[in-house]
Amino acid sequence: MLKTIRLAALMSVITLTPFGLASAFAEPLKVVASFSVIEDFAKNVGGDRIELTTIVGPDGDAHVYEPKPADAVAMSKADVVLVNGLHFEGFLQRLIEASATRATVVELTKGVEPIKMKEEFEEAEEGEAAGHAHHHGDTDPHAFQSIANAKIYVKNIADAFCTADAAGCDTYKANADAYTQKLTETEGEVKAAIASIPESKRTIITSHDAFGYFEHEYGLTFLAPEGISTEAEPSAADVAALIRQVREDKASAVFVENITNTRLIEQIASETGLKVGGTLYSDALSSKDGPASTYIDMMRNNITTIKGAILGS
C-alpha cells in the first residue's frame, strides 16, 4: 500500500507539465534585450521559458541612453544578450565591460542587408551636417523598420535560444514560426495601405532619419531634420535646406516621433504650412496602454497614422 502511494505521488509530479520532471524544475533562460522592440521579439519566441530583462524600455531612446547599475547586474547574470548591432546601441560596449558578462551577445542584424544612411541635404553648409553620422558610420542601424528584416531578427533569436537551451528548441522554433506568420500578414496590410496612397503624395517628414528601411522596402519617402542618431542636433542650415526641399518636393504630411522633441517638427510645420499628422513610433514601442505596445501594433499604428494624415481618413 505504501509503495502504491509513493508511486502515485511521483506520477503526479511527472505530469505537472507536458515536459515532465525536467521542465517542472528547469530554470528559465535568463535573457537581456537591449531595447523594447527586441524585447517584444524575444517574448514571442521565448514565451514562458525565458526570464526577460530590457535595458531601454518603452518610449526610451537607445541612441542617448545612459546605463544604470541595475543594467550591469542584469547583464552579469544573463545567459543570452540580444542586441540590434550596427552601432544602434551607443552604450553597449561600455555596459558589456562594466558588467563583465559571460553571456552570449547576439547581434540580431546578422544576415540583414544593411543600407547606407541618406546623404545630407546638399544645400547645407559643408561640415555642419557631418555630425549626423555620429558613431554609426555610414550605415543605417534601424533595420527592424522593415518587416522582412524583423523576420531575420526572429530567426536569429530562435537560433540563439536553441543554442543556449537545447531542450526548449522545438518550442522556440514553433513560436518563431507562428510569430513569423503574423509578421507576414502584417506586412501585407502595410503594403496594401501604401498602395492606396497616390505616388505623388508619398513624401513625408519625420523627426530623425529612422525610417530608411521602411522607405527602401515599401516605397514612401521620408525627410528628416536629424540624422540617424537623435544625439546630433541639426544645424540651422540643415533645417533651412529641409524646408526648401519640402516646398520643392511637396511633402504631404509631417510627423513627430515618440522618442524625440517636437520643437523642430512644429517649426517645420509652421514654416511649410503642413499640419502635424500624428506620432510615429521609430526606435521604441509605446507603454502597454499605448497604441504601439508590440512590434506588430507599432507597424500598424505607423502606417494607419501616415495614411490617415495624407488621405484625411
Q: Could you read off the pLDDT of 219-233 as tens digits, one per residue?
A: 999 988 765 455 556
Domains of the chain: residue spans and CATH: 2-183 (3.40.50.1980), 191-312 (3.40.50.1980)
Provide the grid cell at 209: 532619419
pLDDT above 60: residue 19: no
pLDDT above 50: residue 130: no
Provide the grid cell at 115: 543600407
Concatenating the DSSP letter of every residue in the chain gives -HHHHHHHHHHHHHTTSTTHHHHHHPPPEEEEEEEHHHHHHHHHHHGGGEEEEEEE-TT--TTT----HHHHHHHHH-SEEEE--TT--TTHHHHHHHHT--SEEEETTTT----BPPPPPTTSPTTTTGGGGGGGTTB---GGGSHHHHHHHHHHHHHHHHHH-GGGHHHHHHHHHHHHHHHHHHHHHHHHHHHTS-GGG-EEE-SBS--HHHHHHH--EEE-SB-SSTTSPPPHHHHHHHHHHHHHHT--EEEEETTS-SHHHHHHHHHHTPPEEEEE--SS---TTSTTSSHHHHHHHHHHHHHHHHHT-
Provide the grid cell at 109: 542584424
pLDDT at 236: 79
Phi, psi at 275, each rounded to 5°: -90, 150
Better-scored residue on pLDDT, 234 or 124: 234
Residue 267, CA distances (Å) to 29, 46, 234, 305 in order: 47, 44, 13, 20
Query: Which pLDDT tens digit goes with each residue over 263-306?
Result: 888 888 888 888 899 999 999 999 999 999 999 999 999 999 99
Residue range 13-34: mean pLDDT, rounded: 63
Percent of the chain with pLDDT over 90: 65
Q: In what order do the strands lie in the sheet with 50-56?
A: 50-56, 29-35, 80-83, 104-107
Query: Which pLDDT tens digit goes with each residue over 67-89?
Result: 999 999 999 999 999 999 999 99
Percent of the chain with pLDDT over 70: 82
CB 273 within 8 A of CB 250: no
- Provide the sign of the torsion angle of the four alpha carbons 239, 118, 37, 61, taken in this order: negative
Query: Which pLDDT tens digit goes with each residue over 30-70?
Result: 999 999 999 999 999 999 999 999 999 999 999 889 999 99
